[in-house]
Structure 1
Amino acid sequence: MAAAGDRKKTACVTGGNGYIASLLIKMLLEKGYVVKTTVRNPEDKEKNSHLEELKELGTLEVFRAELQEEGSFDEAIAGCDYAFLLAAPVNYTAPNPEKELIEPAIQGTLNVLRSCVKAGTVKRVVLTSSTAAVSSRPLEGDGNVLDEESWSDVEYLSAKRTGLWAYPVSKVLLEKAASKFAEEHGISLVTLCPSVTVGEAPDRKVYTTVPAILSLLSGDEVELRVLKGIEKASGSVPLVHVQDVCLAHLFVVEKVGVPDGRYICNGLDTTIAETAKFLAEKYPEYNVNTDISGEGLEKPIALLPSTKLINQGFQFKYNTLAEIYDDMVGYGKTLGILPN
């Protein structure tokens, strides 16, 4: 009979058919964790097909949960050692962002945290936010170095209401609500703020910035406007590989002594101009348009260093454009964003 200490650790990953979540589930299973995940509709075979494939790697249970339905995460989180909060509304261009994006994001986060309190077994909660909660603020001049003490300016964004303004607002407000709740209920909470996340993941239905990052290769003008919006809002195009994001999630629960708090997770600060030049050289067959001078930044005016995370002992595997883009063309073809 196995000793008590041999019990497998159990982790809940909310939003299992999301991009980062799908790879995190895969990594957890490969490390021997028992994984419980939540989706809005477990019957949707097309959206959840990657989860069926991942079940071959280990014990994976799929539960139905709805962000705004209190108690719907109870079953999935019961008995878990760790909870990774990745479920979030994705309707960035909703006609009524307060009701369709901001409120569900805050309410959903608090609902999951309430389930963690009820479970009584969760040793640490990891909330996935975004550097959009750090860098969307008026920036003067260049050489702005933003750290975990920096917050996107909710009043400024809410007053201007331009571009994807509601997304950073939702991330700031859900972070602050989660932090307050965790403090009041004695929950160990780490918030990770990944930058624009790229790289291959098991999820094949991507509703993220992957199409925008591939827009210089695909020629998709709509997605290129999204990329330009990111650069304008952030003062750079900050990139991180999805593998590094998931490794950071594992690191903050497995490394002893990592303090609660907020951690930026960013591999590289670049610009559209710099990326276009790199891609034109690496993938000449895509005829990348490098004549975008005058429209964007020549160099990043804001930097988002991951110093705090690195000081805890975390090491990034992907630090250059070549490493970060390495599997993106193949992934883009798989997703149908790039021609085969």
Structure 2
Amino acid sequence: MAATGGVRTACVTGGNGYIASALVKMLLQRGYAVKTTVRNPDDRQKNSHLMELQALGPLQILSADLDDEGSFDDAVAGCDYAFLVAAPVNLTSEDPERDQIEPSVRGTLNVMRSCAKAGTVRRVVLTSAASSVCIRPLEGDGHELDEESWSDLDWVAAEKPPSWGYVVSKVLSEKVALRFAQEHGLSLAIACPVLTVGASPAPKVYTSVPASLSMLSGDEAALAMLKGIEKSFGGVPVVDLDDLCRAEVFLAEAEAAASGRYICSSFVTTVVEIARFLADKYPQYTVNIGQDSGGELLEKPRVKLSSAKLVKQGFEFRYKTLDAVYQDVVEYGKALGILPY
């Protein structure tokens, strides 16, 4: 499935996931031939939504594992672009070093090696996370962080904030990818998305969508996650899934100057502001902000993550308000059964 006759070919790793399946769908709709990887292509329960996407265009579902060196060679072979979306997420591990950090770094290098070996890949787009940018001690308000900022790993290792292994894994994975790309002459763009919400072909979702709907669903664990994001990030930065996928395709197709890191954040809000918006917009739901909020919630964001670099390249966000984002995600939440009606 090499790029022939003018058809561009893309590989998307971890294709049955929330972001990756939406990206696969978008690429097919744009006329790409797509190869995507999952651990077990024969698992119909996990891959049925991917199989349905085959109606949109040429989509191959291949087997690959981040822990298995060389297993991505076939998937990347002949591709113009490689989107590295698959990554281990193990937020509750007793041993984040073993279960989150080492597998992330190893898996990133594994796919990067396959990209170098292919010899056809014009650009690699790595999906990281904004937690690689802003998890650090910040006193006071009014901070604006850009791609020059890195999370402070010494502080993270000492303080061990929630999901600290995930933060470390993102920083180290980005750094090994950047180093590998430089050493092997690969063009690499890194997308650092914030809280990503919106409808995806994926029939099961974790973290961001349940967190964004937690005040409507009454899911206390998901609400704790949303509050944890505000505490760690100094606000709740949001990007719609459609905007993120468009940004990743934009970064793949853009000229050589698009290499490097890119924060993907459409706007920043707070838990309190989301609660007020939801109470007004969806009066049929009881908006639950939790009993233990006290004075811990912010009235206004303390930190802004700037997407100026992405916008300067010519990208435009479409979903710039809570209203625009939630229209999509509330319907998706109903379809998934996260919201009862």
Q: Structure 1 length normalisation: TM-score?
A: 0.97
Equivalences for 1:138-157 in 2 at 5 Å?
Answer: 138-157=137-156
Q: Give SS of 2:258's match.
A: coil
Equivalences for 1:250-329 in 2 at 5 Å?
Answer: 250-289=249-288, 292=293, 294-329=295-330
Partner of 1:122: 121
Q: How far apart are the structure 2 equivalents of 1:251 and 1:122?
A: 16
Q: How far apart are the structure 2 equivalents of 1:82 and 1:327?
A: 28
Equivalences for 1:172-191 in 2 at 5 Å?
Answer: 172-191=171-190
Equivalences for 1:195-210 in 2 at 5 Å?
Answer: 195-210=194-209
Q: Give SS of 1:61's match.
A: strand
Letter in 1 for 2:51: E
For the Cα contact (< 8 Å) 2:244–2:264, is it kept in 1?
yes
Q: Percent identity?
A: 60
Q: Give SS of 1:338's match.
A: coil
Partner of 1:78: 77
163-172 vs 288-297, greater mean Cα deviation: 288-297
Structure 1 stretches of 5 or more lacking a match?
A: none
Partner of 1:239: 238
Deviation (angstroms), 1:166: 1.2
Deviation (angstroms), 1:305: 1.6
Partner of 1:26: 25
Partner of 2:98: 99
Q: Give SS of 1:11's match.
A: strand
Q: How far apart are the structure 2 equivalents of 1:81 and 1:32?
A: 13
For the Cα contact (< 8 Å) 2:70–2:114, is it kept in 1?
yes
**CA pair 185-35 structure 1, distance change in 2 beyond 3 A:** same
Deviation (angstroms), 1:194: 0.7
Deviations 1:278-311 (A, max 9, x none): 0010011111135845121111000012000000
37-46 vs 253-262, greater mean Cα deviation: 253-262
Q: How far apart are the structure 1 equivalents of 2:162 and 2:280?
A: 31
Task: Kindly tell me the number of residue pairs found equivalent between the two proteins.
Answer: 337
Q: How far apart are the structure 2 equivalents of 1:16 and 1:258?
A: 27
Deviation (angstroms), 1:331: 0.7
Deviations 1:160-181 (A, max 9, x none): 2231111111100100010011
Letter in 2 for 1:29: L
Q: Give SS of 1:192's match.
A: strand
Q: How far apart are the structure 2 equivalents of 1:205 and 1:25?
A: 16
Structure 2 stretches of 5 or more lacking a match?
A: none
Deviations 1:14-49 (A, max 9, x none): 000111111110010011110000001112111111
Equivalences for 1:1-12 in 2 at 5 Å?
Answer: 6-12=5-11
Q: Give SS of 2:180's match.
A: helix
What is the RMSD of the two structures over their aligned residues, measured on CA atoms?
1.3
Q: How far apart are the structure 1 equivalents of 2:284 and 2:164?
A: 35
Letter in 2 for 1:306: S
Q: Give SS of 1:263's match.
A: strand
Letter in 2 for 1:251: F
Q: How far apart are the structure 1 equivalents of 2:39 and 2:94?
A: 22
Deviation (angstroms), 1:235: 0.5
For the Cα contact (< 8 Å) 2:90–2:166, is it kept in 1?
no
Deviation (angstroms), 1:124: 0.4
Deviations 1:218-249 (A, max 9, x none): 11111111111111110010000000000001
Deviation (angstroms), 1:256: 2.9
Partner of 2:134: 135
Q: How far apart are the structure 2 equivalents of 1:235 and 1:5?
A: 48
Q: How far apart are the structure 1 equivalents of 2:179 and 2:75?
A: 23
Q: How far apart are the structure 2 equivalents of 1:160 and 1:170?
A: 16
Q: Give SS of 1:48's match.
A: helix
Deviation (angstroms), 1:5: 7.6
Q: How far apart are the structure 1 equivalents of 2:160 and 2:129?
A: 19
For the Cα contact (< 8 Å) 2:195–2:208, is it kept in 1?
yes
Q: How far apart are the structure 2 equivalents of 1:290 and 1:153?
A: 30
Q: Give SS of 1:303's match.
A: strand
Letter in 1 for 2:128: S
Q: Give SS of 2:97's match.
A: helix
Deviation (angstroms), 1:208: 3.2
Q: Give SS of 1:47's match.
A: helix
For the Cα contact (< 8 Å) 1:22–1:203, is it kept in 2?
yes
Partner of 1:338: 339
